[in-house]
Copies of this chain bind each other. A is one copy, B any other.
Amino acid sequence: MSAAVAPVDGGTGIEKQRLRIWLRLLKISRQMEAEIRERLRVEFATTLPRFDVLAALYRETDGLKMTELSSALMVSNGNVTGIVERLVSDGLVVRIPVSGDRRAMIVQLTPAGRKDFAHMAKTHEGWVASLLKTLSDEDANTLVHLLDNVHIRGALHK
């Protein structure tokens, strides 16, 4: 995560305003994440990365290859390896060899993983709604449209 702090130096007004948006965005994300992380820990004895992997697999009944999983979650390959390992030893997911490509593995939820996640997801949705309770329906509408129009222009897109 990045500097949740006030602007530091000079610069144009536009730059300062964009910086303010970023810092505010970051602060909100951090607060919500911290809260959700804590609740997952206390109520379900799990972590956010595990939850994220289960969420991605939940909507893909046929499972996902390791690489598909890591790109869906926007994290590195090696990262997924470790998380999936732990989920396997908890009995929530399985790794299945891909017929025709001995390099690849498909990761799938087990019935237990599916059941566990369905319960957590329901609760999680309530948490999010509750954390954003102070936002009026009207503002929420405006916000969702504005956010849909933000497209990060990373280095790769030149």
Contacts and interface: CB of A to CB of B under 8 A. Distances in A.
A134 interface: yes
A150 to B, nearest CB: 6
Interface residues on A, range: 35 or more
A131 B144 contact: no
B4 A52 contact: yes
Interface in A27-81: 28-39, 48-49, 51-52, 55-56, 58-59, 72-74
Nearest to A72: B5
Interface in A1-42: 1-9, 11-12, 14-22, 24-26, 28-39
A26 B37 CA distance: 14
Contacts of A8: 55, 58-59, 117-118, 121, 125
Contacts of A52: 1-5
A24 B133 contact: no
Interface in A77-119: 117-118
B74 A144 contact: no
Contacts of A34: 74, 154
B150 A132 contact: yes
Interface of A: 1-9, 11-12, 14-22, 24-26, 28-39, 48-49, 51-52, 55-56, 58-59, 72-74, 117-118, 121-122, 124-126, 128-135, 137, 139-144, 146-155
Given A15-B128, A139-B146, 4 more contacts: A9-B121, A11-B122, A19-B128, A25-B28
